[in-house]
Copies of this chain bind each other. A is one copy, B any other.
Amino acid sequence: MTEPRWLDEPEQRAWRSLMTMQDGLSEFLDRQLRTRCGLSDADYQVLAHLSEAPEGRLRPFELGGLLRWEKSRLSQHLGRMENRDLVTRERCLTDQRGAVVVIAPRGRDLIEVAAPQHVADVRSALIDHLTPAELRTLTTIGDKVRKRLAELEREQLDREQ
C-alpha cells in the first residue's frame, strides 16, 4: 500500500493501447449496426442468441445467463424490443411464474441481414489484420484474464461472509 508500483513505460503503453482499442472497437461496431440495421449492440446480441436457440425461444433466465446481464436489465431491454416487434413474450407452460422470449419475424429478418455485415466489420477492423500468432496470444490473454477475474470475484464473495 505504501509503494504503489506504477506502470512502467511498456506496461503503460500496453494498457492505454488496450483501452483505446476497446473504446474504438465497441463504438465502431455499435455505430455500424445502428446506422445500417437500426440495431444496438445489445439488440444484436439478444437476437443472435435467440436465433441460435431451438425454435428461436429461450427462457429469460437462460438468455440472461448467456449474456451475463442483470435480470432487470434484460427485462427492461426485452420490453423495449417487444415494442419494436423484435421479440414477443409468452407465459411459460411448465413454470407458472416464468416467461418465454421468442424471436419475432422482424427480429429474424434483421439479424439475418445484420450478422454477415457485423462479421465483415469485425474482420475489417480487427481479425483480418492479425497474424495467427497474434490471434493465439489474444485468446491466451483473454482466457487468463477471465480466469483471474473469476478468482477475484470468488475472493470478494468470501470476504462478504
Contacts and interface: CB of A to CB of B under 8 A. Distances in A.
Stoichiometry, as copies per complex, reads 2
Q: Is the interface of A mostly helix, strand, loop or mixed?
A: helix
A135 B26 contact: no
22 contacts: A4-B116, A4-B120, A6-B119, A7-B127, A10-B136, A11-B135, A13-B139, A14-B130, A14-B136, A14-B138, A15-B127, A17-B138, A17-B143, A20-B146, A25-B149, A124-B152, A125-B149, A125-B152, A126-B148, A129-B145, A130-B144, A134-B137
Given A125-B148, A134-B137, 14 more contacts: A5-B120, A7-B123, A10-B139, A14-B135, A14-B139, A17-B142, A21-B141, A24-B146, A124-B152, A125-B145, A125-B149, A130-B144, A134-B140, A134-B141
